[in-house]
Amino acid sequence: MDFPVFLNKWVIGFKLIRYTPFWFWFRLINHSNWRMDDHQRYWDFWMSINRGYDDMQYQWEFEKVWGKNAQPETIILSQENYDALVERLNEPPDPKVVERLTEILRKSAPWDT
């Protein structure tokens, strides 16, 4: 077992410091409900804070997956279909659908009862 895994298991399971400020901060820094040995390492969390690096590397990642000089898919619509799509996007939603969605979201989750 490597040291980061040991440290994570020890801090999370140590009953004397459980629910102290240190324990909460440690859980927050280590993805709170994620077990470091099962999912991500400590440095993955800190590297994932800056997502700009991924944006800069997007073309490289795209080519890595789809091949060199690959182009993204292009959707071509006729003028009539484009106008119909824009109309559909601009029209307000049906009030009955919105009310039903609001009712569903106000209910508690089945696992919360």
* 16: its two tokens: 């004397």
Predicted confidence at residue 79, as pLDDT, reads 94
Q: Which residue in 20, 40, 15 sits closest to 30, CA to CA?
A: 40
Task: Report if pTM > 0.85.
Answer: no
pLDDT tens digits for range 2-53 = 777 777 778 878 888 888 888 888 877 776 455 555 555 555 666 666 666 6
Q: Where are the alpha helices (DSSP H) in the chain?
A: 3-13, 21-29, 42-49, 52-56, 58-66, 79-90, 95-106
Count CB atoms within 10 A of the CB of residue 26. Answer: 16
Supply the pLDDT for residue 96.
94
The residue range of the domain holding 50 is 1-113
Confidence of residue 100 (pLDDT cuts 50, 70, 90): very high
pLDDT digits (tens, 9 = 90+) for 67-85: 888 777 788 899 999 999 9
Q: Tell me, what's the pLDDT at 74?
A: 84
Number of independent structural domains in the chain: 1
